[in-house]
Amino acid sequence: MAATEETLTSSQYIQHHLTNLTFGWLPKDAALELEHGEHAAEHLSWGLKFAANADEAAAMGFWALNVDTVFFSVVLGMLALWFFRSVAERVTAGVPGAAQNFAEWVIDFVEENVRGSFNGKNPMVAPLALTIFAWVFLMNLMDLVPVDLIPYLFTQLFATLGADPHHVYLKVVPTTDPNATFAMALVVFFLVLYYSVKMKGVGGFLGELTLQPFGKWGLPANLVLEGISLISKPISLALRLFGNMYAGEMIFILIALLYGGSLVLNLTGGVLQFVWAVFHILIITLQAFIFMVLTIVYLDMAHQEHH
Catalytically active residues are 236, 240, 244
State how beta strands 22-26 and 47-50 pair: antiparallel
Instruction: Tell me which long-range contacts 154-161 makes (C-beta under 8 A, separation of at least 24).
Output: 155/1, 155/3, 155/4, 156/3, 159/3
Q: In what order do the strands lie in the sheet with 47-50?
A: 47-50, 22-26, 65-66
If you count DSSP H runs as helices and E runs as strands, how many of each does the chain have, helices first?
10, 3
Do the Cβ atoms of 136 and 184 come closer than 8 Å? Answer: yes
In 3-state terms, what secondary structure has residue 195?
helix
CB atoms within 10 A of CB 62: 6
With H, G, I as helix, E, B as strand and everything else as coil, classify residue 129.
helix
Q: How far is C-alpha 27 from the geometric centre of its chain's CA atoms?
A: 28
DSSP character at residue 163: -
Helix axes 178-211, 263-303, angle to 10 degrees: 30
